[in-house]
Structure 1
Amino acid sequence: MWLPPVDRVADNELEAALSHLVRDGVYAQAMGALTGGVLLVGYALALGASNLVIGILAAIPFFAQLTQLPSILLVERLRARRLISVAGSVLGRLILIPLAFLPWIEAPELGRGLLVAGVAASAALGAMAGCSWNSWMHDLVPERRLGLFFANRLFYATSFTLLTGVAAGIFIDSWAQLDIGLPVHAYTVLFLLGSAAGAASILHLTQVPEPRMAPPERTIHLGRMLAEPFHDTNFRRLIWFLGTWQFTTNLAAPFFTVYLIAQLGYNMNFVLIMTVISQFANMLTLRKWGELSDRYSNKAVLALCSPVFLLCIFAWTLVSLPEKHAYTTALLVLLHVVMGCAVAGVTLAGGNIGLKLAPRGRGTAYLAASSIVNAVAAGIAPIIGGLFADDFAARELSLILRWTSGPEATEFVTLRLRHWDFFFLLSPLLGLYALHRLTLVDEAGHGHERAMMQEIVIETRRAVASLSSVAGLRLMNTFPFGRIVQAARAKRSRPRPPSRHGGEN
């Protein structure tokens, strides 16, 4: 068998494997940045896509998770997760190459249809690969290192994506200024570069060993396998939380790019800069969230980051209140910084808590069941958003204050909700229910949510108490990393222990 499983992974092999996984994550993230997210929305808009098409493109990656159903059977029958993951990744990423040449199709409707079909096929194959990858990582990465390892992996991947995003923004802007070809042709180059990054990711993935799966105790029945996680009370509660959370956030988040371009009038280069800022904040806080999740619990991190993210979605209604103004750009920068920090914690802890609560040896079924529920919830949300977007475009809710003095009257618009603002208000309201579901989940750990909150509050108070000095102000600006830097400096200032020969080092 090509890429066969192994009976045992030695310590040195594990360290080498984790190093390859970091590199795999870096290139995979770069591929996603160049062929998905903001750039995929920009590509679709350049091809003339409607709001409904944008919603469908946002929903495809989630509905593609349903292909984990046949993938579960494939994993249990072949018991070769690395082979399945690599094969699915190769096929899925090859599809990206013809998608790069859609601007040369003369029929615009056909081009948009092929874009949707191609993205769907690539995402479906990627989801099949992801199902086997999750089970593979569940048995490979030690539980005690889950938080910090995946935090480091996301840190390096996000760091590289920052550079990729900046370069992509400069490239698109330069392409338009140099008049090399049509603006949409810039996306052709980016898609081809993304395909190359995907190939580099696969090369590193092939170097990671796969622990052999334990022999099945009984005949595999897909229905029974998927039903088993729902009979586990605690894991069922986790599935409820993750599902409601995915629906809540994806009702609004996929349309941030459209909102910035269509309603606020910013260009794609500005949107990419905002994305880079958010990813930079994400990168800076990942390791801290990883440490906190290992020290306390993933639930503690979720309990802090989830409400912050919901408040950020609500704050999108305020950045242009009542109209776009001189401070809108500054508010957007601040908003993207806070969102980046919150998303880092939610993404890391939300992924790790499923890995942690799934029983050893049964991770495939548990994680697949969770992914399927998440996929359905997250896939329905942007389609609903796309369907109702045009309807909300013709509606407006305003709160007007009127000052009357004699025959003269002055009116002040204090609140104006229109188009996407309705989604940014509805999403956090629904999110309150998701937060309620989180409180019902039990997670064994070294601490509790309150203990972590107290630690962060203590750090904040110490920083605020020293604001009278320049050093204190600098410490506050770097929170929550100020305490880490301070501890590192104190460690360097300590006298070194004497050498074995009795002298000083």
Structure 2
Amino acid sequence: MPDGTRKFSTETVTRLVMWSQALFTAGNSLTTGGFLNYFIYEFEQSALYLAAIQVAPECAESLGVFTRRILNWFRGRKRLWICGLVVARLTALVIPAVFLFLPDRFNTLSLPITLCAIIVWYLAQGIAYCSYISWLSDLVPEQNWGTFFSRRRIAGLIVSMIVPISFGLLRSRLISKWSGDWELWSYLIIFGMGAALALSSILPMLSLPESHTKLEPKVTPRNSRTRWKDLSLSFRWLLCSRWWLAFFQGLTQVALFKFSVGVLHVSLETYYVLTAVTLLLQIISARWAGTMCDRDHDRKVTIFGLLIVSCAMPFWIAATPEFWWLIVGSNLAWGAFGMVNVGLQNLTLKLAPVSDNTLHISLSRQWSGLIAGLAGLLGGYYLDWGLSQSDISPGWVYLTIFGVSWLGRVSAPLLMLPVVQPRTRVSVNDDSLGVDDGDRISEPDRTPV
């Protein structure tokens, strides 16, 4: 171990990462998701534009596939993560500033600038995310990935239950008493606080050591290309399942939001309460999934979780303004996403080369986002067209898109069946990282189980 490099235990790394994730999630929840969607919805209600706003993050993040090449310039995943995160959060501040200083030009200039800011924001954040997860996979031994990544996710989920609801209710109460520009100023203040919290997530991680990407000698960052045949058969099936699911989930991005707000009249406060129920269940399911993944049950956990979350759509199909509360059933089913997210991430890392895994992370997570984004545009276009037809009932328009999405979601687990569960790799302790990994054996074991 190099002189001056502190040695960290897995528990110490986990604790620091959980603090970092909590801070980032607190900031991110104040600038994304329902908060951002309701903000934009106040000024522009076109389904196609809302779709563009919602899918822009996924499309921009998909360019994280180039993280491997960019690492050739930064020569450090920790350094690239910090730089990407700083650029992303500063760019996010453009959105409230534009709406504040151009209040009379919402539909001509403010909205396009907002869209461009979102693209730059998530492009930088997508690259930062790939570097971050790849870096973390070296700081913790593989036999602990399940527990480690589930705890990281749980830290974020706990904050996601508290911060958005608290700020959302506080803002609603304040703007009901104050008039004028306070509504816009409140967004600027909250966005600023969100950016500060997200940037502060860097602080707990500064003490952790950098790790150098162990690139495969046959493929260098300068000329690397994504080749389907170079990926393992199991990883290809994993991608097929993720991409298939992403398409049919993305198809209803705008439909669910417009149906919830425009038809069921679900308020922002109710939205946050329902989201909190989902997040609470995800905490429980993620914790269980982490333990099971450490026992090499990643594949079983993922398939089981996918089957549960596919049960959400029938509740939306049955919901009406009088029986809007039926969508609570979908929030209960979505609680299994805690299992799916942990299982899919672990499978992605276990089926990828050690350290040199940014390409696999991007293909698995961020290209799924791209596909969901494109499907979201398709769904938004369909809604605009269907709702404009006088001879078609709006109910049938929503019923059609919900039904198609349900069929796609319920069939996604079938594509996971050919995936071979990899056995956890263990290797000798790497003192160059300054991390105490505990007991390991010398030879990696990749025997399928």
TM-score range for the pair, normalised by the shorter chain length: 0.7 to 0.9
Equivalent of 1:424 in 402, 407, 412 = 402
Question: For residues 133-171 of structure 1, what are the alpha-carbon distances to aligned partners after superposition, in whole Å with 9 as ceiling and x for unaligned?
Answer: 122122222111111111111112111121112212212
CA contact 1:158–1:283 (8 Å) conserved in 2:
yes
- 1:442 is matched with 420
**Structure 1 residue aligned with 2:85:** 89
SS in 1 for 2:239: helix
Shift in Å at residue 254 of structure 1? 4.9
Are 1:107 and 2:102 counterparts? no
Q: 1-side partners of 2:175 and 2:397: how far apart?
A: 29
- 1:210 aligns with 210
Q: 1:216 to 1:50 in 2, by over 3 A?
A: same
TM-score, scaled to structure 1: 0.77
Structure 2 CA distance for partners of 1:27 and 1:255, relative to 1, 3 Å: farther
Over 3 Å counting, the alpha-carbon distance change for 1:47 and 1:60 in structure 2 is: same
The alpha carbon displacement at 1:179 in A equals 2.3
2:377 is aligned to: 383
Q: Determine which of 355, 368, 372 is the counterpart of 1:374.
A: 368
In 1, the alpha carbon distance for the partners of 2:157 and 2:206 equals 22
Q: Tell me which residue corresponds to 1:128.
A: 127
Matched with 2:431 is: none
Give the drift of 1:291. 1.6
State whether residues 315 and 327 of structure 2, in contact with CA within 8 Å, keep that contact through their aligned partners in structure 1.
no
Q: Give the whole-Å Cα distance in 2 for the aligned partners of 1:98 and 1:69.
A: 25
Q: Which has the larger radius of gyration?
A: 1
Q: How does 1:57-68 map to 2 (within 5 A)?
A: 57-68=53-64
Change (3 A) 1:344 1:215: closer
What do residues 396-443 of structure 1 show as CA deviations (whole Å, max 9, x unaligned)? 888xxxxxxxxxxxxxxxxx9433332221112122442221111111
**Equivalents in 2 of 1:255, 1:112: separation in Å?**
21
1:54 to 40, 50, 62: 50
> Is residue 49 of structure 2 the alignment partner of residue 71 of structure 1?
no
Deviations along 1:474-493, whole A, 9 cap, x unmatched? xxxxxxxxxxxxxxxxxxxx
* Shift, 1:372, TM fit: 5.1
CA contact (8 A) 1:229 1:235 kept: no
Q: How far apart are 1:376 and its partner, in Å?
A: 2.9
Q: Secondary structure at the match of 1:316?
A: helix
Work out the CA distance in 1 between the residues paired with 2:336 and 2:215.
41
Are the structure 2 counterparts of residues 169 and 76 from structure 1 closer, same or farther at C-alpha, using a change threshold of 3 Å? Answer: same
Which amino acid is the alignment partner of residue 335 of structure 1? S
Task: For 2:256 and 2:217, locate their aligned partners in 1 and report how far apart those are by CA, in whole Å.
Answer: 48
Q: CA deviation at 1:38?
A: 0.6
The 1:178–1:16 alpha-carbon spacing in structure 2 relative to 1, beyond 3 Å, is: same
How far the C-alpha of 1:123 sits from its partner, in A, is: 0.3
Q: Tell me what 2:241 maps to.
A: 241
Q: 1:72, CA displacement in angstroms?
A: 1.4
- State how far apart, in whole Å, the 1-side matches of 2:265 and 2:217 are: 60
- What SS class does the counterpart of residue 35 from structure 1 fall into? coil
> Are 1:247 and 1:378, in contact at CA under 8 Å, matched by a contact in 2?
yes
SS in 2 for 1:265: coil
The corresponding residue for 1:146 is 145
**How do 1:5-24 residues align onto structure 2 when only pairs under 5 Å count?**
12=8, 14-24=10-20
Q: Counterparts of 1:139-178 in structure 2 under 5 Å?
A: 139-178=138-177
Aligned sequence identity (%) = 19
Distance of 1:221 and 1:256 partners within structure 2: 40
**Could you give the per-residue CA deviations for residues 290-310 of structure 1, whole angstroms, max 9, x where no partner exists?**
122223511111211112212
Mark the CA change 1:273 to 1:445 in structure 2 (over 3 Å): closer, same or farther: same
Q: Which residue of 1 aligns with 2:287?
A: 287
Question: For the aligned residues, what is the CA RMSD?
Answer: 2.6
- Bigger Cα displacement from structure 2, 145-154 vs 83-92: 145-154
Aligned AA (1:362): D
SS at 2:209 equivalent: coil
Instruction: Specify the SS of the correspondent of 2:202.
Output: helix
Letter matched to residue 78 of structure 1: F
Q: Is the Cα–Cα contact under 8 Å of residues 67 and 359 in structure 2 kept in the other structure?
A: no
Q: 1:24-54: per-residue Cα shift (whole Å, max 9, x none)?
A: 1111112221111111110111222421121
Alpha carbons of 1:181 and 1:287: their partners in 2 closer, same or farther (altered >3 Å)?
farther
Asked if the contact 1:165–1:273 (Cα under 8 Å) also holds between the matched residues in 2, the reply is no
Distance in structure 2 (CA, Å) of the matches to 1:303 and 1:47: 40
1:87-140 superposed Cα distances (whole Å, 9 cap, x missing partner): 010011011223222332121121111111111111000011112112212222
C-alpha separation between the residues in 1 aligned to 2:324 and 2:255?
18
Distance in 1 (alpha carbons) for counterparts of 2:143 and 2:189 = 42
* SS of residue in 2 equivalent to 1:100: helix
Output the CA distance in 1 between the equivalents of 2:114 and 2:66.
Answer: 24
Q: 1:349 to 1:241 in 2, by over 3 A?
A: same
Structure 2 length normalisation: TM-score? 0.86
Alpha carbons 2:315, 2:329 under 8 Å: kept? no
Aligned to 2:338: 344
Q: Give the Cα separation in 2 of the matches to 1:417 and 1:297.
A: 41
Distance 2:122 2:341 in 1: 19
**Match in the other structure for 1:274:** 274
8 Å contact from structure 1 (residues 246, 374) kept in 2: yes
Map Cα deviations across residues 224-263 of structure 1 (whole Å, 9 max, x no partner).
Answer: 4422774422211111111111112121145433321111
- Are the equivalent residues in 2 in contact too, given 1:75–1:81 (CA < 8 A)? yes
- What's the CA shift string for 1:180-203, capped at 9, x where partnerless? 445444322221121111121122
Q: CA deviation at 1:328?
A: 2.7
Q: Distance in 1 between matches of 2:217 and 2:291?
A: 37
Taking a change above 3 Å as real, the CA distance of residues 8 and 78 of structure 1, as seen in their structure-2 partners, is farther
Distance 1:6 1:371 in 2: 34
Q: Distance in 2 between matches of 1:439 and 1:368?
A: 22
Secondary structure in structure 1 of the residue aligned to 2:247: helix
Unaligned ranges ≥5, structure 2? 425-449
Give the Å deviation of 1:86.
0.3
Letter in 1 for 2:381: L
Distance in 1 between residues matched to 2:273 and 2:396, nearest whole Å: 25
